[in-house]
């Protein structure tokens, strides 16, 4: 599995727009065959900071995601709403060893 955490800091005046666009992108990403999980997490002590936790079957699944129309639309829409450039950090998933049950929270 291939996981990435994307750290995002948005301008306060654009938080609602960012969240709406990001939730739509997450919903569409979950329908991609290479995606296993897409969580949108808001920082508890700073509502303008988010983490997008994405898990793909492999790096090719993530690359396929970056080639979708909905990702391009999201990327272009949210860029001016950022308080600073977003930062993605790739991770190698160690546990669970299989993706079975991830979508259902199991």
Mean pLDDT of 28-45: 97
pLDDT for 43 equals 98
Structure token digits, residue 101: 């049950």
Domain that holds residue 39: 2-91
52-103: pLDDT as tens digits: 999 999 999 999 999 999 999 999 999 999 999 999 999 887 787 665 544 4
Domain-embedded: residue 100: no
Question: Which pLDDT score, from 0 to 100, does residue 102 have?
Answer: 47
Backbone torsions φ then ψ of 101, nearest 5 degrees: 85, -5
Say which CATH number the domain at 61 has: 3.30.70.100
Q: For residue 103, is it within any domain?
A: no
Burial of 45 (0-12, 13-18, 19+ CB in 10 A): exposed
Q: How many domains does the chain have?
A: 1
> What pLDDT, on a 0 to 100 scale, did the predictor assign at position 54?
96
Q: Is residue 97 assigned to a domain? A: no
Residue 15 lies in a domain: yes
Q: Where are the alpha helices (DSSP H) in 59-98?
A: 59-66, 69-78
pLDDT given at position 96: 74
Tell me which residue of 59, 56, 58, 21 sits closest to 40, measured CA to CA.
21
- What span, in angstroms and rounded, lies between the C-alpha atoms of 13 and 103? 32
State the pLDDT at residue 62. Answer: 94
pLDDT in the model for residue 98: 60
Read off the pLDDT of residues 2-26 as tens digits, 9 standing for 90 and up: 899 999 999 999 999 999 999 999 9
Residue 79: Cβ-neighbour burial (10 angstroms; 0-12, 13-18, 19+): exposed
The answer to whether residue 7 sits within a structural domain is yes
Structure tokens given for 25: 């992108």
The pLDDT, as a whole number, for residue 1 is: 86
Domain-located, residue 28: yes
Q: Is residue 101 part of a domain?
A: no
């Amino acid at each position: 599995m291939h996981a990435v955490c994307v750290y995002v800091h948005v301008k306060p005046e654009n938080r609602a727009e960012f969240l709406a666009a990001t939730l739509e992108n997450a919903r569409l990403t979950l329908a991609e065959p290479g995606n296993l999980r897409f969580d949108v997490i808001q920082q508890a002590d700073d509502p303008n900071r988010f983490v997008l936790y994405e898990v793909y079957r492999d790096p090719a699944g993530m690359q396929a995601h970056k080639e979708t129309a909905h990702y391009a639309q999201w990327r272009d829409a949210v860029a001016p709403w950022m308080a600073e450039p977003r930062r993605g950090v790739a991770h190698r998933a160690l546990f669970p060893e299989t993706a079975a049950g991830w979508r259902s929270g199991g």
